[in-house]
Amino acid sequence: MREPGETHAGGAAAVPFFRLDGVTKRFGGVIAVEDVVFDLWPGEVHALVGENGAGKSTLMKIVDGLYGPDEGMLEVGGEAVSFSSPREAEAAGIAMIPQELDLFPELSVAENLFVGRKRPRTRWGSLDWEAMQGEARTRLDALGVDLDATSTVKRLSAANQQIVAIARALVGEARAVIMDEPTSSLTEREASQLFGIIEDLTAEGVGVVYISHRLEEVFEISDRITVLRDGHHIETASASDLDVEELVRLMVGRPLHELFTRSASSPGEVALEVRGLTRDGEFEDVSFTLRRGEILGLAGLVGAGRTELAQSVFGIRPADSGEILVGGQEVRVRSPQGAMEKGIFYVPEERRSQGLVLPFSIKNNITLSILEASPGSASCRARSGRPPRGSPKSSRSGGRSSQIPLAGSLAEISRRSSWQRRWPANQGSCCSMSPRGALMSGLSPRSTVSWMTWRRKARPSCSSPRSSKKSSRWPTASW
Ligand SMILES: Nc1ncnc2c1ncn2[C@@H]1O[C@H](COP(=O)(O)OP(=O)(O)OP(=O)(O)O)[C@@H](O)[C@H]1O
Ligand SMILES: [Mg+2]
C-alpha cells in the first residue's frame, strides 16, 4: 500500500495530479454534490464510493470538463483550471470512461478510438484506414486484449465494449484515468484482466479514480477510498484502515446488520417450467422450474446464453425446440406481447436502450406498460405531439435509471393483479440473471420482473385535437 504522493518508483510527487476543493454542483433544485474535496496523486488508485445518487459521477464529470462547478475549484498540477469540455480535460491529461459508455455502435473499434481526435491521413488527404487500424491494434495489444480493430462495436459483448472504451481513453496521453463502474458488465475473469491493466497504468505513474459498487474489488485494487453520501464528502482514508463493514456504514450511515434483512419465503407450486429449450447456436437443452415466491438465479460467463435464454422465454427470439409451461399448461410464446398475456415479464440487460424512452419522464416511462389503462399518459401525449411531463429520465443517476423499467413492469403486474386477478395474492416469481443484482435492487422474492412494453393500440380516450397529425416531435409508439 502506497501513501499519497509516493510513486511506484519510490519517489514522491509534490502536489496531487488534480484536486477538487469545496466543489458544489446543483441541477435546478437538486444538489448533486456540495462542498466536496477530492484529490488524485500520480500512480495511485483512489476509489470513489457511495450509494446510488451519492454524486460520484457528477463529481468526476466536473473533473472531465462536462460540467462546471457552481462553487469551489479544480486544480491540475497545483494550478487552478476551468475546463469547458472533455477535450480540454483530455489535453490536460485527464480521461474518463463514463458509466454509460459513449461509443458509436455503428462504427468499427478503430473508428471509435479516433472519434473527436486527429486521424491519420494519406498524403492525398484522405483518411488513412490502415494507419488507423494499425494504431488501434497497437493500443489493444498494449492492453493485452485480442480484439479485431475492424469489428463493428455493436457486435461486441458488453465486456469488449468496455475494453474499447478503455482503449479510447488511453489513446491520448492520459495521466489520470477516471473509471466509472467499469466492471458492472464484466465477469470475474474480465475484471481481473482490467485490474492487470490498472496495475500497469499505475506502474507508469498514471493515477486512477475507480468508481464501483463492488466493494470487494475496491479493497483489492485501491490505495485510498473516498466516501460520498447524499452529495457530501464523508471520509477519505487509506484502504488498509477500512474494512467492508465500516465502509458500508460510512456509505449508508447505518451499520451493515441493519441493512440487509432477508425475509423467509416458502416457494409454492411451479409457476414456470422450461423443458429442453434449444435455440441453435445460442443454447441447448435447457430445463428449469421456477416456483411461486422464488428467485431463481441464472449464472454463467458472458456469452453463455443467459440473455438469449431469457429472451426466448419472453418470445423475443423464439426457441427452435423445447417446451414452456405456465402454471402446468404448455404455452406457445412467439412474441413479447404473447409472453405478457401468459404472465411472463422481462427487464432487459440493456435498460437504457431497450427498457426506457430516455426523453420521457420517469412517470411516463413507468406508465408506458399500462397505456391502455391510462388515458392522457405518455403515448397519448406522444401521439398528440405534446412533450411528456416531468423531468427527463436521462437526468437520473446510473443506478436509479436501472430501476425504472422494473417499476414499469411492476405497474403492469399490479394492474393485472387488481384488474384481471391473474396474479393471486401477489405470488409472483422472479428469475434473475444475477441473483446479487436482484437482491441489490431491493427485490423481494415476492417481486416479479418484467419487460416494459409499449402498446400501439389507440384508445378513443387518447385522442386530442392534434392527435391526427402525422408529424410529432416525440417518438411514435412502435417496437
Ligand atoms: N443532468 C442532471 N440533471 C438533474 N439531476 C441530475 C443530473 N445528473 C445527476 N443528477 C442528480 O444528481 C444526483 C447525483 O447523481 P450522480 O449520477 O452523480 O450519482 P452517482 O453517485 O453517480 O449514482 P450511481 O451510483 O447511481 O451512478 C442524483 O440525485 C441525480 O438524480
Ligand atoms: Mg454514477
What is the residue-wise DSSP string for 118-141?
A: PPPB-TTSSB-HHHHHHHHHHHHH
> What mean pLDDT is predicted for residues 286-314?
87
- Longest Cα separation, the chain: 74
Q: What percentage of the chain reaches a pLDDT higher than 90?
A: 39
pLDDT digits (tens, 9 = 90+) for 46-62: 999 999 999 999 999 99
pLDDT band, residue 429 (cuts 50/70/90): low
Please report, for the chain, the start and end positions of each structural domain, with discontinuous segments joined by +.
18-258, 270-462
Alpha helices in 231-361 (DSSP H): 244-252, 306-313, 336-341
- In this structure, which ligand is nearest to the CA of 50? 1
**Ligand 1 atom at minimum distance from 58 CA:** 18
pLDDT at 465: 35
Query: Cβ(57) to ligand 1 under 6 A?
Result: yes
* Per-residue pLDDT at 380 exceeds 60: no
- In this structure, which ligand is nearest to the CA of 98? 2
CA-nearest residue for atom 1, ligand 1, is 395
Three-state DSSP state, 188 = helix
Phi, psi at 66, each rounded to 5°: -75, -35
Query: Cβ(43) to ligand 1 under 6 A?
Result: no
Query: Cβ(402) to ligand 1 under 6 A?
Result: no
pLDDT at 112: 92
- CATH T-level assignment (fold) for domain 270-462: Rossmann fold (3.40.50)
**Ligand 1 atom at minimum distance from 59 CA:** 18
Query: Cβ(30) to ligand 1 under 6 A?
Result: yes
Residue 213 or 382, more confident: 213
The alpha carbon of 379 and the centre of ligand 1 are apart by a number of angstroms equal to 26
CA-nearest residue for atom 22, ligand 1, is 57
Q: Name the CATH superfamily for 18-258.
A: P-loop containing nucleotide triphosphate hydrolases (3.40.50.300)
Determine contact, residues 65/87, Cβ cutoff 8 Å.
Answer: yes
Output the CA angle 223-228-229, nearest 5 degrees. 150
Residue with cell 405456465: 326
pLDDT at 475: 32
**CB burial string 350-366: b at 16+ within 10 A, e below:** ebbeebbbebbbbbbbb
Torsion angle, CA of 327/329/334/337, rounded to 10 degrees?
-40
Nearest to 436 by CA among 201, 260, 198: 260
CA-nearest residue for atom 29, ligand 1, is 53
Query: Cβ(4) to ligand 1 under 6 A?
Result: no
The alpha carbon of 189 and the centre of ligand 1 are apart by a number of angstroms equal to 30
Query: Cβ(61) to ligand 1 under 6 A?
Result: no
Please state the separation of Cα 5 from the chain's center in Å: 32
Query: Cβ(55) to ligand 1 under 6 A?
Result: yes
Query: Cβ(397) to ligand 1 under 6 A?
Result: yes
In eight-state DSSP terms, residue 227 is: E
- In this structure, which ligand is nearest to the CA of 56? 1
* Per-residue pLDDT at 83 exceeds 90: yes
Neighbouring CB atoms inside 10 A of 184's CB total: 17
In eight-state DSSP terms, residue 191 is: H
Q: How does strand 207-211 pair with strand 176-180?
A: parallel
CA 47, 51, 52, 57 dihedral sign is negative
Determine contact, residues 372/341, Cβ cutoff 8 Å.
Answer: no
CA 418, 423, 429, 434 dihedral sign is negative
Q: Helices 158-169 and 129-142, interaxial angle, to 10°?
A: 100
pLDDT at 175: 93
The whole-angstrom separation of Cα 321 and Cα 312 is: 11
Query: Cβ(400) to ligand 1 under 6 A?
Result: yes
Determine contact, residues 453/479, Cβ cutoff 8 Å.
Answer: yes
Residue 224 or 292, more confident: 224
pLDDT digits (tens, 9 = 90+) for 386-407: 444 444 445 666 666 666 666 6
State which of 38, 209, 212, 397 you would mutate to test the pocket of ligand 1, scoring each by most atoms of that ligand within 8 A of its C-beta.
397
Mean pLDDT for the chain overall: 77
The alpha carbon of 53 and the centre of ligand 1 are apart by a number of angstroms equal to 5
Q: What residue ranges in 232-281 does DSSP mark as E strands?
A: 232-238, 270-279
Phi, psi at 343, each rounded to 5°: 95, 20
The alpha carbon of 62 and the centre of ligand 2 are apart by a number of angstroms equal to 13
pLDDT band, residue 468 (cuts 50/70/90): very low
- In this structure, which ligand is nearest to the CA of 399? 1
C-alpha cell at 334: 412467439
* Per-residue pLDDT at 7 exceeds 60: no
pLDDT band, residue 73 (cuts 50/70/90): very high
**Ligand 1 atom at minimum distance from 33 CA:** 14
Query: Cβ(27) to ligand 1 under 6 A?
Result: yes
Query: Cβ(98) to ligand 1 under 6 A?
Result: no
Neighbouring CB atoms inside 10 A of 266's CB total: 9
Three-state DSSP state, 431 = strand
The alpha carbon of 61 and the centre of ligand 2 are apart by a number of angstroms equal to 10
> What mean pLDDT is predicted for residues 332-350?
85
pLDDT band, residue 471 (cuts 50/70/90): very low
pLDDT band, residue 196 (cuts 50/70/90): confident
Query: Cβ(32) to ligand 1 under 6 A?
Result: yes
CA-nearest residue for atom 6, ligand 1, is 395
Name, of 10-19, 192-201, 210-219, 350-359, the range with top average pLDDT.
Answer: 210-219
* CA atoms within a 13 Å half-sphere pointing along the CA-CB vector of 388: 23
* Per-residue pLDDT at 81 exceeds 50: yes
> What mean pLDDT is predicted for residues 134-152?
86
Nearest to 91 by CA among 172, 192, 186, 34: 172
Query: Cβ(322) to ligand 1 under 6 A?
Result: no
Query: Cβ(42) to ligand 1 under 6 A?
Result: no
